[in-house]
Chains A and B, each alone.
Chain A
């Protein structure tokens, strides 16, 4: 797939939070065959310098980073965080999150569109974390986004695709816009379903990081994403309400 002119072979984007250890994170990224990992920015204290160690681990992975604006609740916060991320990580890519509600972590789509417009005009390549809403998608594209990242379900919920019908509509309406299902994926089968619907990639974190065996789960997700993509490309059969015999009926024995 192509995002902002970059060719990616892997359709699995992986978050970097909540792994049991940095070594397990590194092995999970490798086993997921992820080419893009998400990162963030937090306050650094002089004494701890925790961020410096994390950054050298990520650099050692040889992957692209997609910094996020997680925790931002306003256009101003998100834009400033994005500017800081661009300098810190040396990339114009930004996973734009503007959160509107503490409980659901639902995007504030109005501020999201505004922040996307400002950032795109400033040369950022914006990956907006959005809902499945078609009109919001249209506004984000108008604002200069060339990729969309609709949620599957609320962040960290692991519930899979809550609204497959709307996601199918979104996919059908913009067949040429790269779309990454971001958030809510809990099981490999959820990732497969997203890919079978024709989405270009999935972004997940907790489902791997919090698995009993994160490295094994990373591998399972890689296989699930590949299976879903292959299934989509192969052209699934249509559903029907009634049974239809797969074995030919003509010439069946013992029939009068």
Chain B
């Protein structure tokens, strides 16, 4: 399945957001996620199904001013 992760096209196997994060090596990481521009909390990642063409954002803490 082709989706867009952080603005980059990717071919992935994961069917849910939780599976995708595992696949990306971010399973236990401190990250926040959005699917198609909407925030998806940790508690919903396991049942948030992904489909072709979805846009996923995976954000981590970063320096800020």
What is the minimal beta-carbon distance from B12 to any residue of chain A, in angstroms? 12
Q: Which of chain A's residues have a CB closer than 8 A to the CB of B62?
A: 39-42, 50-51, 54
Q: Is the CB of A80 within 8 A of B58?
A: no
Given A44-B58, A51-B60, A52-B30, decide whether A16 and B65 contact each other with a Cβ distance below 8 A. Answer: yes
Q: Count contacts on B: residues with CB < 8 A to the other chain.
A: 25
Instruction: Map CB proximity to B onto A41-85 as digits: 1 under 8 Å, 0 otherwise.
Output: 111111101111011001000000001101000001000110111
User: Can you name the residue of chain B whose Cβ is closest to the Cβ of A41?
Assistant: B59
Contacting residues of chain A (21-54) with chain B, CB-CB under 8 angstroms: 38-47, 49-52, 54
Known: A44-B31, A51-B60, A88-B32. A80 touches B39 (CB 8 A): yes
The answer to whether B59 touches A42 (Cβ under 8 A) is yes
Is the CB of B42 closer than 8 A to any CB of chain A? yes
| CB atoms of B29 and A70 under 8 A apart | no
Residues A80 and B37 in contact in the complex (CB < 8 Å), given A15-B65, A206-B65: yes
Given known A17-B65, A84-B34, contact A52–B60 (CB-CB < 8 A): yes
Within the complex, which residue of B42, B57, B58 is in contact with A87, where a contact is CB–CB below 8 Å? B42
Q: Are A52 and B29 in contact (CB under 8 A)?
A: yes
Digitize B33-65: 1 where CB-to-A-CB distance is under 8 Å, 0 elsewhere: 110011101100000000000000111111111
Is A67 a contact partner of B32 (Cβ separation < 8 A)? Answer: no
- Docked-complex contact B61 and A41, CB < 8 angstroms: yes
Q: From the candidates A16, A18, A42, A76, name the one contacting B60 in the complex (CB within 8 A).
A: A42
A232: interface (CB < 8 Å): no
Q: Would you call B7 and A47 a contact (CB within 8 A)?
A: no
A55 to B31, CA, bound (A): 11
Identify the closest chain A residue to B39 (Cβ): A83
Q: Is the CB of A89 within 8 A of B61?
A: yes
Nearest CB of B to A68, in Å: 5
Complex Cα spacing A205 to B64, Å: 9
Q: Which residues of B contact A47 (CB under 8 A)?
A: 25
Out of B41, B60, B64, name the residue touching A44 (CB < 8 Å).
Answer: B60
A45-B65 in contact given A52-B29, A80-B34 (Cβ < 8 Å): no
Would you list the 10 A-B pairs with minimal beta carbon distance, nearest first? A51-B60, A40-B64, A15-B65, A44-B60, A84-B32, A83-B39, A46-B25, A205-B65, A42-B62, A55-B61
Q: A41-B60, A49-B25 are in contact. List 12 more A-B contacts (CB 8 A).
A: A39-B64, A40-B63, A40-B65, A51-B29, A51-B31, A51-B59, A68-B65, A81-B59, A83-B39, A87-B42, A88-B31, A88-B59
